[in-house]
Amino acid sequence: MKAIQLNQFTDNFNELELVEKQMPTPGKGQVLVKMFYSAINPSDLNYIRGDYQVALKRLIWNRANQDHTPSFQPNGHHPHPELPYIPGGEGVGMVVGSGGGILANRLQGKRVSVSAGPPMGTWQEYTIVDAKKAVVVPQTIDDQQAAMLLINPLSSYGMLTDVLNVKKGRWLLQSGGASALAKMVIRMSAQLGVKTINIVRRDAQIAGLREIGADVVISLQQCSDDSVVAHIQQQVHQATAGKGVDYALDCIGGQILEAMLPCLTIQGQMLLYGTLAKADAQVFSRDLMMPCAKIHGFFAGNWLAQKSLFEKIRLMRGMKKMALSGCFNTPVESVYALEDISEALTAATTSGKSGKVLLKFC
């Protein structure tokens, strides 16, 4: 079977290799999935460039032995993958084999959305996933939407309703406002009665976001580097009548994070969940102290791992309601064959795209 293999961390997408591999065999509690589509997400690029590896090595629990593969959790669970690695965090396919166990056996022959990851991803014709990470897809959801059903919907829903626990009538400021995830936040916020202020890079994105329910859109297109912070803060001041926002979601970092932090009102909360600008930010302690504000980090895998079975069921029920009302619908920008992985990755990282780039397996 064909697979996309990462042999070394790289920024050069031509270095990913299309290889022939043995079909993997599922162990107990796992299923073998024949893949149909897989999404290309920013998190896949973090694996490819080695960003997660660098980030994990900084953490105290990975300091003891710098020669060991760093781990996503302090107890050594979920180690970062060793190279060579087959990337791909999610996708959709058909369960064609089971390694045994009640759940895995019950999934046989079912179309499932999967979230995968170390030790192997979804960018291969057949993959293995833990049966608990395979969700049966209702008939009403087509294959392409099913390929994007887990990572962004779960993260956006979890951040809004669980971590921030947003309340009706409050203001939420978010960066990366035109991203697939941010659009989910806009739609869900509109349903929950939360008003959103959305920061984007281009004027052309304003109308589309207003259409799906954004209250305010701040475009930085006309700003010079020196005027970004003042522009964001002046617009937030105006929109909230000088009060500031109750919640802030940042996936960019750097100057944007620095601009957003002083926009928090009393007991405001900021949640950091992405680093798209790849730039450090300076945090002034008193921006948090004076408003008694909080700053949190979010990483979906580790957040979900803290949840009990009961809490997970409750989250799934809430997400289902949002899914049925169209909150998670994501346009597809383009679809590529595995052979064209380099072009697919270039398309996925091209600025101004209007939807997700998918890999198709045939």
Ligand X SMILES: NC(=O)c1ccc[n+]([C@@H]2O[C@H](COP(=O)([O-])OP(=O)(O)OC[C@H]3O[C@@H](n4cnc5c(N)ncnc54)[C@H](OP(=O)(O)O)[C@@H]3O)[C@@H](O)[C@H]2O)c1
Q: Which of residues 19-48 bind ligand X (CB under 6 A)?
A: 41-43
Tell me phi and psi for residue 115, to 5 degrees.
-110, 125
- Which residue of this chain has its Cβ atom nearest to ligand X in the complex? 274
What's the angle, vertex CA 91, arms to CA 85 and CA 94, rounded to 5?
105
Among 146, 181, 236, 249, binds ligand X (CB under 6 A): 181
d(CA 249, CA 193): 17
DSSP 8-state class, residue 129: E
Strand residue runs (E) in the chain: 2-5, 17-20, 30-39, 90-98, 111-115, 126-130, 134-136, 171-174, 195-200, 216-219, 245-250, 264-272, 294-297, 332-337, 356-360
Cβ contacts of residue 301 below 8 Å, gap of 6+? 72, 78, 117
- By CB under 6 A, the residues from 41 to 80 that bind ligand X are 41-43
Question: Does 229 help bind ligand X (rule: CB under 6 A)?
Answer: no
Of the candidates 19, 94, 212, 277, which one interacts with ligand X according to CB under 6 A?
277
Q: Does 321 bind ligand X (CB under 6 A)?
A: no
Are 229 and 258 in contact, with CB atoms under 8 Å apart?
Answer: yes
CB of 273 to ligand X, least distance (A): 4
Beta carbons of 92 and 10 less than 8 angstroms apart: no
Give yes or no for residue 260 binding ligand X (CB under 6 A): no
Q: Which of 274, 328, 338, 358 lies at the binding interface for ligand X (CB under 6 A)?
A: 274
Shortest Cβ distance from residue 333 to ligand X (Å)? 9
152 contacts ligand X (rule: CB under 6 A): yes
Which of 276, 288, 295, 335 is close enough to bind ligand X by CB under 6 A? 276
Residue 175 burial class via C-beta count within 10 angstroms: exposed 0-12, middle 13-18, buried 19 and up: buried
Using rule CB under 6 A, residue 352 touches ligand X: yes
Question: CB 319 → ligand X: shortest distance, Å?
Answer: 14
Q: How far is the CB of 175 from ligand X (least distance, A)?
A: 7
Question: By CB under 6 A, is residue 326 in contact with ligand X?
Answer: no
Q: Using the minimum distance from each CB to ligand X, give the nearer residue, 95 or 180.
A: 180
Contact mark string toward ligand X, 290..309, x via CB under 6 A: --------xxx---------
Helix H or strand E segment including 236: helix 228-239
C-alpha span between 223 and 61 (Å, rounded): 41
- Name which of 131 and 257 has its Cβ closer to ligand X: 257
Is position 273 an interface residue for ligand X (rule: CB under 6 A)?
yes
The percent of the chain in helix, strand and coil, each rounded to the nearest 5, is 35, 25, 40
d(CA 332, CA 354): 8
Q: Does 178 bind ligand X (CB under 6 A)?
A: yes
Give the nearer residue to ligand X in terms of CB position, either 128 or 154. Answer: 154
Q: Per CB under 6 A, which region of 54-62, 150-158, 187-195, 314-322 contacts ligand X?
A: 150-158
Size of the site for ligand X (CB under 6 A): 24
Q: How far apart are CA 99 and CA 131, in angstroms?
A: 9
Give the position of tokens 């190279």: 83
Assess 347 for contact with ligand X (CB under 6 A).
no
Site residues (CB under 6 A) for ligand X? 41-43, 151-152, 155, 176, 178-181, 201-202, 251-252, 273-274, 276-277, 298-300, 351-352
